[in-house]
Amino acid sequence: MMRKVGVKNMLSFFNCQIGQFPIKYLGVPVSPSRLHVADWQPLIDKSFKKLDVCKGGCMSIAGRSTLISASLNNSPIYHMSVYLLPKTIVKKLDQIRRKFFWQGGRTRKKYHLVKWEKICKRKRKGGLGIKNLRKMNISLLCKWWWKLEKEEGL
The Cβ-side half-sphere exposure at 55, using a 13 Å CA radius, reads 14
Quick check: is 48 in a domain? Answer: yes
- Asked whether residue 29 is domain-assigned, the answer is no
Query: What pLDDT, on the 0 to 100 scale, is given for residue 88?
Result: 92
- Domain total in the chain: 1
Q: With respect to residue 94, please indicate whether it lies within any of the assigned structural domains.
A: yes
- Residue 4, in any domain of the structure: no
Q: Is 127 helix (H, G, I), strand (E, B) or coil?
A: coil
| The model scores a pTM over 0.85 | no
Q: pLDDT digit of tens for each residue in the chain (154 aa)?
A: 445 567 778 888 888 777 777 877 777 788 777 888 888 888 888 888 777 655 666 778 788 888 888 776 677 888 888 888 899 999 998 888 888 888 876 666 777 778 888 888 888 998 888 888 899 899 999 988 888 888 765 5
Judge whether 28 lies within some domain.
no
Dist. CA 21–CA 124, nearest whole Å: 45
- Is 81 within 8 Å of 59 (Cβ atoms)? no
Domain assignment of residue 21, yes or no: no
What integer pLDDT is reported at residue 4 of this predicted model? 55
d(CA 151, CA 146): 8
Residue 52, domain member (yes or no): yes
Give the pLDDT confidence score for residue 54 in this predicted structure: 54
Tell me the three state secondary structure of residue 64: helix
pLDDT at 56: 63
Domain of 86, in residue numbers: 37-149
Cα(36)–Cα(86) distance, integer angstroms: 9
Give the residue among 145, 135, 19 at the shortest CA–CA distance from 82. 145
pLDDT of residue 2: 46
Q: Is residue 101 part of a domain?
A: yes
Distance of alpha carbon 81 from alpha carbon 103, whole angstroms: 30
Cβ neighbours, 10 Å, residue 120: 19
How far, rounded to the nearest angstrom, does the alpha carbon of residue 7 sit from its chain's CA centroid?
37
